A and B are shown apart, each in its own frame.
Chain A
């Protein structure tokens, strides 16, 4: 008995080893390389000269780039707030549906994932453009006279962000609302809480971990999804993601791109840390 147990244990270590190796080579490796690169100097073309310098970080303090960071943050924040408002009730009520409706809702939610998100974003161009479906509908209904300039605007980017990232929020909230014991809500009602009070003191508190992980799942990507801003924003608004991409391709300045990426990473980590502190998530996560 004990012999097989030991054998099993040691073999499982060997099974996990490739995973450690993979993580080391493909996650930790590039990260270290990126940080190192951010202290290097750009050479001619896309070459890099390994002279230690803080030049790249000083460059970020330029008001133009600071503005980029601010705008990215604003956009990510706006998108995340809208995603919370739309996604939380969706996920919450999905968990309350009957089994057969749950399956249908889940299928509808997963369906868009079968199509490349780039192609789906081009779909939004068709909807939002001057002679697009939305303008057409609004005109026929007599709400507007002249087509609205919807595409290539800030709201268009927000729409794109919300559209792409909403499912992550819904699924995250759904999975924690699914685990919610509804008899707790009944107990709250029984003890004198109205529907709304019972929701805020019990259901919401217990699904908060789902909302939080949804926020993390949507806030971080929305800082970096440059192609949404490019496609629906028409390059009018430059986000940190776009800036990094630009520095790596057209600008041929990899060290500066690396410095931007490092700053972005630190900022998002700080945000998450702050958020976790505010919502006191540890206490809630302890419930499991």
Chain B
């Protein structure tokens, strides 16, 4: 499966997809991650054939399918709102694709039963979609798509309407199905946790382009742009100037202080403007370290067992520190010193990406 330089605009001024390319391996679980309006659903619709790109090509198994109708593509979709046919029962819904292929009734019935067992809904053949719960509808929608044994399965935020507990269970189940069947899954979500839990690779989308494509580990631990760092890792973005490099460490001047950051290559020159991403759980407050930054405590709150402290640096930029437990003895209005370990800082928005990011 391959996308080549896909462009799509709905009006003259706005381009939803700005020439994206992506190559997906057989049996891979890939997630398009991004906030709403980033173009991920449009990408999916183009792959499914429900939308035509203005430019670019879609390849499936080495064949150009760009101009093919959705019914002629070996791709099936699980829609966001499930899109189950309300006038058919569960068995007719699931068997719809096979019926179109003129497969004998007895075989359809057998396969539908098989599918219902696979999605753990045995005996639900005669139910109407209106009699199903959200999670059950979801399973039927998945069964209806999978029964056609497509090369690629597209899933458009399939768990978005479910509650947290059910979502966790369904995540595990989807992953299990995908491993068992070996079908390529292209999964859309705005939930970074979901993406990290399930995917082999994640493509982070923003404003119609891919910010970064990589494994969950790469995306989480080595973000390349500040957008990826904040969207996936809830990181703080610090802007500063590189001062000198030594032993794989770069000293950076930030907001009147000096911080060291680890750098794997020697591409950073002294005097260069740099951007650092540091995740909030790696920010340390009021601890013994040689190189602290002065900051004022703006806000302190607890959420989901985590202490969250909002700090204001001397240059006015905001910094968020969070950690489990309630060990930080800081008060609002207090001036504290803040630091982070060199290996917890990541240089982002470098060279190529910088041109896109900078206004």
Contacts and interface: CB of A to CB of B under 8 A. Distances in A.
Interface in A157-215: 181, 183-184, 186-195, 197-198, 201-202, 205-206
B85 A183 contact: no
A190 B86 CA distance: 17
Given A192-B100, A197-B100, A187 B77 contact: yes
Interface stretch (B68-76, B198-206, B276-284, B326-334): B68-76
A191 B50 CA distance: 12
Given A187-B77, A187-B79, A189-B69, A287 B87 contact: yes
Interface in A12-39: none
A232 to B, nearest CB: 40
Contacts, number: 66
B79 A186 contact: yes
Nearest to A194: B71
Interface string A246-288: 0000000000000000000000000000000000000110110
A193 B77 CA distance: 13
A206 B76 contact: no
B144 interface: yes
A104 to B, nearest CB: 22
Contacts of A187: 77, 79, 83-85
A193 B100 contact: yes
A193 B95 CA distance: 12
B351 to A, nearest CB: 41
A197 to B, nearest CB: 7
Contacts of B77: 187, 190
A233 to B, nearest CB: 41
Contacts of A189: 49-50, 69-71
A205 B88 CA distance: 10
Nearest to A205: B87
B71 A192 contact: yes
Contacts of A181: 81, 83
Given A191-B100, A191-B148, A183 B79 contact: yes
Given A186-B79, A187-B77, A206 B86 contact: yes
Given A183-B79, A287-B130, A192 B86 contact: no
Nearest to A187: B83
Contact of B83 (A184, A198, A201): A184
B124 interface: no
B100 A183 contact: no
Name the residue in B70, B81, B84 with the highest tally of chain A Cβ atoms < 10 Å from its Cβ.
Answer: B70
A197 B145 CA distance: 18
Contacts of A286: 128, 130
Contacts of A197: 100
Given A189-B50, A189-B70, A194-B69, A183 B97 contact: no
Interface in B85-130: 85-87, 96-97, 100-101, 128, 130
Contacts of B85: 184, 187-188, 202
B96 A191 contact: yes
B48 interface: yes
A49 B84 CA distance: 63
Interface string B46-77: 00111000000000000000000111000111
A186 B87 contact: no
Contacts of A195: 69
Contacts of A192: 71, 97, 100-101, 148
Nearest to A283: B87
B220 to A, nearest CB: 33
B222 to A, nearest CB: 36
A186 B79 CA distance: 9
B69 A190 contact: no
A88 B354 CA distance: 57
Contact of B76 (A190, A198, A201, A205): A190
Contact of A190 (B71, B81, B101): B71
Nearest to A186: B50
Contacts of B96: 188, 191, 193, 201
Q: Which 9 A-B pairs have the closest CB atoms?
A: A187-B83, A191-B97, A189-B70, A183-B83, A192-B100, A287-B86, A190-B77, A192-B71, A190-B70
20 contacts: A184-B83, A184-B85, A186-B50, A187-B83, A187-B84, A188-B85, A188-B96, A189-B71, A190-B50, A190-B71, A190-B75, A190-B145, A191-B71, A191-B100, A192-B100, A192-B101, A193-B100, A198-B71, A202-B85, A286-B130
Interface of A: 181, 183-184, 186-195, 197-198, 201-202, 205-206, 283-284, 286-287
Given A191-B97, A287-B130, 9 more contacts: A186-B70, A187-B79, A188-B96, A190-B75, A191-B100, A191-B144, A202-B85, A283-B87, A287-B87
